[in-house]
Amino acid sequence: MASLGYVCIGTNDFDRALTFYDQLFGAMGGKRLMPAPAGMLYALESGAAVMIVRPHDGASAHHGNGNMLAFRVEQKEQVAAFHALALSLGGTTEGEPGPRGPYGDFAYFRDLDGNKLAVFHREKKSG
């Protein structure tokens, strides 16, 4: 059996990316966990971990088409709040906050390097 340990997000401007993620992840209850040779590992309140990294091969970081990290939030209002925070930090929108059919409320944005992120809220089913 295996479980996801952490994910990496590449950056071309490490200091600028850390400023962005310190604020974004801090608002989500996350914090810097530890530095690594190529980056910084963040621990989120949920137990998930995200590493912001300089690419190991020395080439430029670039986002992948179709790649995305999605963060589940506890309250519907947080979807719009985290989307707005990301934009205020220099991110760009990829989809305004709102309902997405029967799946819940979602918002999409890109970080400073063009990596696509989402925040979403889905009501927990009872029973």
Q: Would you give per-residue pLDDT tens digits along the chain (127 residues)?
A: 767 789 999 999 999 999 999 999 999 999 999 998 889 999 999 889 999 999 989 899 998 888 999 999 999 999 999 999 999 999 999 999 999 989 999 999 999 999 999 999 998 776 5
At residue 127, the pLDDT reads: 57
CB-based contacts of 71: which residues, under 8 Å, 6+ apart?
28, 44, 82, 117, 118, 119, 120
In the numeric block, the tokens 């990301």 are attached to 86
At residue 85, the pLDDT reads: 98
At residue 29, the pLDDT reads: 94
7-55+67-121 folds as 2,3-Dihydroxybiphenyl 1,2-Dioxygenase; domain 1 (3.10.180)
Neighbours of 108 (CB within 10 A): 20
CA distance 83 to 96: 8
At residue 68, the pLDDT reads: 93
Q: Residue ranges per domain, the chain?
A: 7-55+67-121
At residue 126, the pLDDT reads: 64
Structure tokens at 31: 């914090």
pTM: 0.89
